[in-house]
Chain A
Amino acid sequence: MRKHVLLFVHGMGAYVTEAGEADHTWSRAAATALKEQYDKYQLVRRKRFEDRFEVVHINYDTEIFKLVHRWQEESRAILAAGVPAAAPARRLVKWLDDGAQLEDNFAWTHAACVILYRFFPLLRQRVKIHVANQIQKALAPNENGAVSAWSVIAHSLGTIVTHDVLHAMDSTTTTSEAGISVLDTMVPSANLIAMIANVSKVLENDVDVYDSLVVPQSMVQNQSCCFSYFNCNNVLDPFVRPAPFRPGDDKTTWTLARANGAYFDIVTRNAHELNVHSLRNYLVNPAVHIPLLEQLVGVGTITDEEKEEAAKLEDVPLDQLGAEVSELTTRVRSHFGGSDPDASQWFDLAGVFFSMLRGGSNA
């Protein structure tokens, strides 16, 4: 029988090598971060993480990078042509000539990928089909049979990408078998879709995230792509504050999912590293990883004593890190006139936060 397939979907940032190949460093670190928590619990770790899960790294940054890289090459060729008369054309493309630099280039590696996904529908479609193809390959049957259990852990920009792709896979029927979606033909709904630092509402595009098929199954929502949905947000994370994912009471499917214990709305306030937006900073929190592990390996596998012990974790350590986090928060707020950035400033925040973070960590 196949292992539980665990898909990791990265967020904003540079996840490509200089050669343009997919760089799975983040994804591997994410799986390691989860494994660290997994190994804390006696009954859970009785089966090795590697024996229970087949980890799959989903990457879409390669497609964004290819486009930005082409812009850079075209721009550099024009600048290098040395035709003085072509000054108007040079002015047009000069700003593109460092787009594909991967080091310390937060405007391009973080802000631009979010802007390109949200405001450039053609690139969004390119990313969607590229990710869908990877998911399809990961979930397709092989010589050991079909995949009977799978889950997704998506982070930041990856939350909206995951949302858009799974909605498309669960609503698309090909001509070969009308009436059943690409996803339903292949696998049962996902055991768990964990949206960590969920920005799917602020980056919502063609599909309303509250009315899509990315919602837990219930009596009123038979067609859906998951059995349970995690919405995890840290109040110290500036990215999740504008337009948070918060389906209202009028959204019956979500209300019912919450009542059924299938929708987990987890709000945390912890800082265990300066990058409060990082996946690791979320997973280290027992309020996140305990219910997450229970959905992945079974309720009751973590004892009450272990839960009590885990709950002793201090949310914001009162040491130098706490002071640095506080300083970073103040600096980010002062960039936006002393208040939290709103949804319209979200894209600016993507560049600003990571450049300040780099500055802070170097300090």
Chain B
Amino acid sequence: MRNRIWRALQLSLLGFAALSEAQAVEVEPCAEIYEAEINDLQSGGQTIAGSSVYGVLSLQLESGCILGEKDSTGIRQLYTALPNVPDEKRAKARADLFDAIEAQLEGLPSSTCANPGDPAAACIVGRQLKSIRDVRELLEQGNPPLADPKLSNNNWTVVTGAGRIPISGVALQPLLATECAEGALTPRCRTAVDLAAKLMRSALGTFQAISAHARPTIEGNAEFLSKRDKEWNSYFNDISVQYPWELGFNGWWFQKKTPAEERRGFPRAPARKFIALHPAVGFEYAEGIDGKRTTQGAVVLEVFGYERWHWKDGKAAGRVGASLAISFTDVVGADSVGYGMMFHTPYRNMSMGAVWRDGDSGESVNFIFNLDPSSWINHYRNFDLMEFIKAPAL
């Protein structure tokens, strides 16, 4: 064990010494910015410990010299342009992007080490460079499946906390803490900082190349979610409201009929519902004691019913339904309760039907219809009132 640790240390030191020489020929965009940042911090009286160096460098993510506005490598411009490049020019644009990404690591000593977790700098560079080339090769082949582990987004990221880059197995925070233990501006530390910047830039640049390839699938998934969202929105807000007890019963039915695995994801909104003890305001064209018919305000209670439809472009289409209903109304000379059937229409959730009602002059059959007030209120909520009431143009 002791030998293995010693070997790793030797490799690490050798690797960083070699990196120092290689860096002499290539300017890292972060080098000057990092130096200025450290000088500024130190002139303000702050001592930068080795453990804080990663924190200083990570300030450059997003907006600075690592794929930000101060990044002179051109990688950012290449990947932001890639999704909009015409199909016939995409291969060339992608090749340019990968050339720029690979150039980040190409001048550095790299080695294919036997141990996949070898912490030596050359091994880290070797692993990352090989993986970048693997991705490039896959994408050049045409249309590789995104499920290929080499294209996994989780490999091509910088996990902010410890600066871990999964693809090369390096954690930048402890690495920089070790390399910068003797000072944040020592040559050894500067070399490690330059390497860290290149590793971050090349990993995140590769992620962007994969993401550009994934755009059609991402858009397809967005459509899928948007359609499901529309269906559920329609289920709750377009179709007549379900009272708590109805929602409870239909929910129980949904749980019973939908496989558990589907429920854990994004199941489709139901295409049916049961109606139970559902009251709504309505009107009854009722026969009075004198045999004359008048329209009376009523409350219609649907005792039990069923409605079904199918989903078309996120909307419920072909809605049909019926229910047994009781109509409550006050008609002189007639019972206050009538019994009948209601049929549902898709138009603003209106329902219509007929009820039988006993009265002093015998049994009468009356036409009834009911409304879904919330549906009407929602419909007219956004109307311009003045526009609505003004006289029509002649």
Residues of A at under 8 Å CB distance from B?
1-4, 42-44, 46-47, 51-52, 63, 66-67, 69-71, 73-74, 77-78, 81-86, 88-90, 92-93, 96, 119-123, 125-126, 128-130, 132-133, 136-137, 140-141, 143-146, 148-149, 167-168, 171-172, 174, 176-180, 182, 184-189, 191-192, 206-207, 217, 227-228, 294-301, 303
Contact = CB atoms under 8 A, between A and B. Distances in A.
A86 B299 contact: yes
Nearest to A122: B251
A56 to B, nearest CB: 16
B113 interface: no
Contacts of A303: 49, 52
Contact of A83 (B163, B251, B298): B298
Interface in B31-51: 41, 46, 49, 51
B11 interface: no
Interface of B, secondary structure class, is helix
Interface in B76-117: 76, 79-80, 83
Contacts of B235: 122, 126
B162 interface: yes
Contacts of B177: 300
18 contacts: A71-B241, A73-B374, A83-B297, A84-B330, A86-B328, A88-B328, A129-B225, A141-B215, A149-B61, A179-B146, A184-B152, A184-B153, A191-B161, A192-B161, A299-B55, A299-B161, A299-B163, A300-B173
Question: Which size class do B's interface residues fall under?
Answer: 35 or more
Given A43-B56, A74-B373, A303-B49, A171 B264 contact: yes
Contact of A188 (B68, B154, B264, B277): B154
Contacts, number: 281
A207 B264 contact: yes
Given A51-B63, A125-B267, A148-B157, A136 B222 contact: yes
Nearest to B252: A121
A259 B215 CA distance: 36
B160 A296 contact: yes
A297 B216 CA distance: 31
Interface stretch (B21-29, B204-212, B385-393): B204-212
B266 interface: yes
A27 to B, nearest CB: 20
Contact of A180 (B67, B146, B241, B248): B146
Nearest to A67: B236
A123 to B, nearest CB: 7
Nearest to B211: A146
B54 interface: yes
Contacts of A44: 55
A78 B279 contact: yes
A158 to B, nearest CB: 19
Contacts of A297: 55, 58, 160
Contacts of A123: 236, 247, 251
A136 to B, nearest CB: 5
A121 B279 CA distance: 23
A85 B329 contact: yes
Given A141-B211, A191-B159, A130 B147 contact: no
Contacts of A47: 59, 63
Contact of A186 (B62, B161, B221, B277): B221
B185 interface: no
B336 A184 contact: no
Contact of B328 (A4, A89, A136): A89
B67 to A, nearest CB: 4
Contacts of B225: 129, 132-133, 136, 182
Q: Which of B53, B76, B232, B243 gathers most chain A CB within 10 Å?
A: B232
B204 A1 contact: yes
A67 B277 CA distance: 18
Q: Which of A93, A146, A180 gathers most chain B CB within 10 Å?
A: A146
